[in-house]
Structure 1
Amino acid sequence: MEELTYTPLDDSHANGLLSIWSDVDVIRFTNIKESCTLEEVKDKIRVLKDFDVFVVSNANGLIGIVGCPCIDKAKSRYGLFYQFCKSSWGQGYATAATKWLLRYMREKYGDITFFADVVVDNIASEKILKRFGFKFISQEDSFERNGIKMKIHNYKL
C-alpha cells in the first residue's frame, strides 16, 4: 500500500472534508444527519481541531479523517472515528489509519481506553474495529435520519 500522511486538522482542510461530509454514500455510515455545507464543515473543524484529529492523505491528496476526541480525560477515555472518501474504500486506508492512530494515542497518553460507535449497516467499519480487538458492548437507537431512528453498535478497546 502506498504511504499515507497524517496532518493535524486545521481550517485549510475544509474543502477536502466537504467532499467527504457532503457525500450521501459516505455520511450514511456516520452520525452526520445530512450533507454538510462548507460553513457546517468549518464549524465541525472548529470543534474537532482541539482534539487528536488528523486528515489522512495519499499521493493524490486528502482521502479521509481519523481522530480520537477526548471523552473523559481523568479516566483516560477517548473516542475513535474515521471517515474516508468513497473512492478510497476497500483499499485498506481506514485500517492503516486506525493502526497508526491507536499507536500514536498510546505513545502520547499511555494506557487509555478507546470507544467507538458504528451505524449498524456499516459492516466494513465493524470488521476494522474487531481486527484491532474492539469488543461489542451495546446497541442503541442513537439519532434520527430521514425520520428513521438509526441503530448504533458501541465498541470498547
Structure 2
Amino acid sequence: MNHLLMTERLVLRPVTAQDHAGLLAHWTGADVRRFLFDGEILSAEEVTGIIEDSTLSFAAAGHGLWLIREKDSSDLVGTAGLRPLDDLGLEVFYSLAPAAWGKGYATEAARAVVEHALGPLGLPEVLAEVDEGNAASVAVVERLGMTAFESVPGLLGPMTRYRRVR
C-alpha cells in the first residue's frame, strides 16, 4: 500500500528518522504543543519513540504519522496522523506550524487522513479528541463531518470526543 497522501496543495508522507530534528523543533514550539501535548515539551528520546512507533504502525496497519509539506515547498507545514484513543479506536490528530495557520491546511490534511482511514484502510470510524478551549480544532473536526459523542476530563480541562463513521 502506498502511504503517500496527496491533496490539492499538500503532500503527506510517513515520517522517517531523518525527520527527527525538524519534528523536535516543530513539537517543542509553545503554540504547537499547547493542545497536542498539553503543553509538555517532548524529549529527543520521545520523538525517536514516536517515529519508531509510526514506522512499525505503517508496516503493520497502513497508518501512523505523516509529515505535511506544501506541494511546491520543502518547508515543514506540520504533521497529521492516526493513533489509538484509549480502547475506542483510532483518532485523527494534527499539528501545524504557526506560519501555516489560517490557510485551511489542518482541514485539508486531516481530511486526507480520515479518507485514507475510512477508504483504503477500511476502518468503520475515525475519532478525534479536542480540548474544549481549542476552537480552531473544533471547527476542523466539524468541517470533517465529525459529530460529538462524549465529554471527558483532560489535563487542560474538559475534552470533547468526536466520531465520523464510514
For 1:21 and 1:135, locate their aligned partners in 2 and report how far apart those are by CA, in whole Å.
Answer: 28
Contact 1:30 1:118 survives alignment (8 Å): no
Give the counterpart of 2:130 among 102, 118, 122.
118
Alpha-carbon distance, 1:125 to partner? 0.6
Deviations 1:34-79 (A, max 9, x none): 1223222112222233331211112142211111125699x9x321
Greater percentage in strand: 1
For 1:98 and 1:134, locate their aligned partners in 2 and report how far apart those are by CA, in whole Å.
Answer: 11
> Partner residue of 2:143?
131
Give the counterpart of 1:61 among 75, 82, 86.
75
For 2:54 and 2:159, locate their aligned partners in 1 and report how far apart those are by CA, in whole Å.
Answer: 21
For 2:163 and 2:85, locate their aligned partners in 1 and report how far apart those are by CA, in whole Å.
Answer: 13
Deviations 1:86-116 (A, max 9, x none): 1111111111101211222223222521111
TM-score by length of 2: 0.79
Give the counterpart of 2:92 among 44, 61, 80.
80
The percent of aligned pairs where both chains have the same amino acid is: 25
Find out whether 1:29 has 2:29 as its counterpart.
Answer: no
Give the counterpart of 2:20 among 14, 18, 21.
14
**Runs of 5+ unmatched residues, structure 2:** 1-6, 58-62
**Runs of 5+ unmatched residues, structure 1:** 144-148
> Partner residue of 2:60?
none
AA of the residue aligned to 2:158: K
TM-score by length of 1: 0.83
AA of the residue aligned to 1:112: P
Mean Cα deviation higher: 33-42 or 6-15? 33-42
For 2:151 and 2:86, locate their aligned partners in 1 and report how far apart those are by CA, in whole Å.
Answer: 21
2:119 counterpart SS class:
helix
For 2:142 and 2:111, locate their aligned partners in 1 and report how far apart those are by CA, in whole Å.
Answer: 12
